[in-house]
Structure 1
Amino acid sequence: MKKNIKHFFLLTALAAGTIHFVNRFINMTADIKNILKAENGNFYDWKNGQIYYTKRGSGSPLLLIHDLNPVSSSYEWCKVIRKLEKKHTVYTLDLLGCGRSAKPYLTYTNYLYVQLVTDFIQNVIGEKTDIIASNESISFVTLACNMNKDLANSIIAINPTSLKELHITTDKYASVKKTLLELPVIGTFLYNIKVSNTNITKYFREEYYARPQLVSSKLIDAYYEAAHMNFSHGKYLMASMEANYTKNSIEHALKKLETPIYVIESRNMKDAIAIADSYKKTNSGNEIVYLSNCKKYPQLEVADKVVEAIDMFLK
């Protein structure tokens, strides 16, 4: 009996050591191509950690906010920024828990990002701006602009998350997943599996792009690198997202919002028309443009069409 127990603990220690080695190897090699070069930008010393941002071009300010996802970063705007900076002073940032920004061990909530957007506009941009928000980021941008009318002239939402999905709240099962992901060794290992090169490639080919043949290896490498920066601490954001702490109903804010919202929706997305219509019904002042041959990230897949839509709205 004692011999079996000894073997059990020995195998457990060996497995833990192997997992730890795998985690360390991933952390050491993930950014070897150095696609997301931090020297091209600056850092805003926010109260919860340093926020990486860039500032380019000249003209009226325009803030680009990427999708809230631990694999995402401001690299999401790489194909539109050069065209936008010809007419605007374009700001991009990596959200807390993403890319080159800090990834502290804390519970990431929707209101945390409301504070980040508010503080960034007030302390870095210093004046009213136009905001472009991708997917789930529309939730905290909407709430921030509803709470402070001096933040934005307009909001452009690219494939905003459905109002129904944003209404989802946490439960005990989601909290268990959060706790599991936050564990030092096994949690990091599970996170590394979720954001592996294989899984990121799968998401882009099946869910993010309408034409998978356009998905480049450099694009996958950039998202993989973003996910594993800062010792894979993007797991803390993922843990909070799994528990639905980053979601918040915005219907009440949309109804009262004085800042106009323009929606860019991809026809190839599931329930695209229904989602766009729900935003329109909640606030009749919203305008919608539909794009073809693209899915979740049209700013990467059909960049020229997105720039045309943005120019039309901002005029």
Structure 2
Amino acid sequence: MKKIIKHFFLLTGLATGCIYGINKFIDTTSGIKKLLSSNSGHFFEWRFGNIFYTKHGEGSPILLIHDLHPASSSIEWSKMIKKLSKQHTVYTIDLLGCGRSDKPGLTYTNYMFVQLITDFVKKVIEQKTDVIVTGDSCSFTLMAANMDDKIFDRIFLVSPPSLESLVKNPTKQTDFVKKVLELPIIGTFCYNLQMLEDKITDLFEQKYYRKKAFISANLKDSYYESAHLNHSNGRFLYGSILGNYTNINIIPALKKLENPIYILGSRDTQTSIRIIDSYVKYDENIETAYISNCNKLPQLEEPEKLYEIISMFYDE
């Protein structure tokens, strides 16, 4: 019996050591190309951590907010900055838990991101701004506008999530997943398995891009690096997302908001069309536009088309 127990602890120790070694290898190699340099930007000292941001151009301000995913960062807007900064002061931000910003070990909630972008606008931009936002980040952007009508003017939503997905609440099952991901060694290992280079490639080919040939290796490497910066502590954000802590019902806000709202989506997916129609159902003043030959991220796949549509709405 003693031998069995001894062998059990020995094997457990070896397995833990191997997992730790794999985590360490990914931590060391994921950022070796240094594609996400912080030298090009600044840091906003926020209450929960330092927030990386950039500022380009002159004119009325526009804030660009990337999709809420631990592999995402302001690199998502890299093809739009130069175009928009010809007439605007363009701010990009790496959300807390993403990219070059800090990734503290806490529960990330929708309201926390509401506070983050509200504070960023008030303390960094220091005036009412237009905002262009992608994916799941649309929810807390709308909630921020609903809570404070002095921060945003025009609101552009790119590929917003379904209203149904945003009403999902934490459950015992989702909370268990969150707690596993928060474990220091096993949690990091589970997170790393979900953020492998092959998984990032799948993300681009299945959700982000329609035309696979347009996906650059550098872009995928940037997302991979973003997911693993700060010792893969993006797992805390990932756990909160899977745990449904970043969700919120935005329908009451949609009914109340008086901001000009524009929704942009892919013409090539029925899901996108259905989602946009559901938003318009609650606010008939929302203006919509569709972009062909793209998937979730037209700012990377079809930046010229996206820029033309945004400019068209500005010229109205």
Q: TM-score normalized by structure 1?
A: 0.99
The runs of 5 or more residues in structure 2 that have no matched partner are: none
Please say if residues 269 and 296 of structure 1, whose CA atoms lie closer than 8 Å, have aligned partners that are also in contact. Answer: no
What is the CA deviation profile of residues 108-139 of structure 1, one whole-angstrom value per residue up to 9, with x for unaligned ones?
00000000010000000000000001011110
Alpha-carbon distance between aligned partners in 1 of 2:273 and 2:202, rounded to the nearest angstrom: 25
SS of 1:40 mapped into structure 2: coil
SS of 2:118 mapped into structure 1: helix
Aligned to 2:234: 234
Aligned to 1:158: 158
Q: Shift in Å at residue 257 of structure 1?
A: 0.2
Q: Shift in Å at residue 4 of structure 1?
A: 1.6
Alpha-carbon distance between aligned partners in 2 of 1:103 and 1:145, rounded to the nearest angstrom: 25
Aligned to 2:256: 256
Equivalent residues in 2 for 1:136-155 (5 A)?
136-155=136-155
Aligned to 1:121: 121
How many residues get paired?
315
Which aligned runs of 4 or more in structure 1 are off by greater than 4 angstroms? Answer: none
SS of 2:72 mapped into structure 1: coil
1:309 pairs with 2:309: yes
Q: Shift in Å at residue 269 of structure 1?
A: 3.4
Aligned partner of 2:74: which letter? S
Aligned to 2:50: 50
Please say if residues 71 and 99 of structure 1, whose CA atoms lie closer than 8 Å, have aligned partners that are also in contact. Answer: yes
Aligned to 1:224: 224
What is the CA deviation profile of residues 207-262 of structure 1, one whole-angstrom value per residue up to 9, with x for unaligned ones?
21111111111011000000000000000000101100001010000100011110
Aligned to 1:266: 266
**Identical aligned pairs, as a percentage?**
51
Aligned partner of 1:59: which letter? G
Q: 1:299 to 1:123 in 2, by over 3 A?
A: same
SS of 1:53 mapped into structure 2: strand
SS of 2:253 mapped into structure 1: helix
Aligned to 1:203: 203
Aligned to 2:134: 134
Q: Shift in Å at residue 272 of structure 1?
A: 1.2
Aligned to 1:296: 296
Q: Shift in Å at residue 2 of structure 1?
A: 1.5
1:184 pairs with 2:184: yes
Alpha-carbon distance between aligned partners in 1 of 2:31 and 2:269, rounded to the nearest angstrom: 31
Alpha-carbon distance between aligned partners in 1 of 2:279 and 2:230, rounded to the nearest angstrom: 36
1:90 pairs with 2:90: yes
Please say if residues 206 and 212 of structure 1, whose CA atoms lie closer than 8 Å, have aligned partners that are also in contact. Answer: no
Aligned to 1:39: 39
Aligned partner of 1:263: which letter? I
The runs of 5 or more residues in structure 1 that have no matched partner are: none
Aligned partner of 1:171: which letter? T
Alpha-carbon distance between aligned partners in 2 of 1:49 and 1:28, rounded to the nearest angstrom: 23
1:61 pairs with 2:26: no
Alpha-carbon distance between aligned partners in 2 of 1:309 and 1:272, rounded to the nearest angstrom: 17
SS of 2:86 mapped into structure 1: coil
Cα RMSD of the aligned pairs, angstroms, is 0.8
SS of 2:51 mapped into structure 1: strand
Aligned to 2:25: 25
Q: Which segment drifts farther, 27-36 or 175-184?
A: 27-36
Please say if residues 73 and 94 of structure 1, whose CA atoms lie closer than 8 Å, have aligned partners that are also in contact. Answer: yes
Please say if residues 63 and 92 of structure 1, whose CA atoms lie closer than 8 Å, have aligned partners that are also in contact. Answer: yes
Q: Shift in Å at residue 270 of structure 1?
A: 4.6
Alpha-carbon distance between aligned partners in 2 of 1:268 and 1:117, rounded to the nearest angstrom: 31
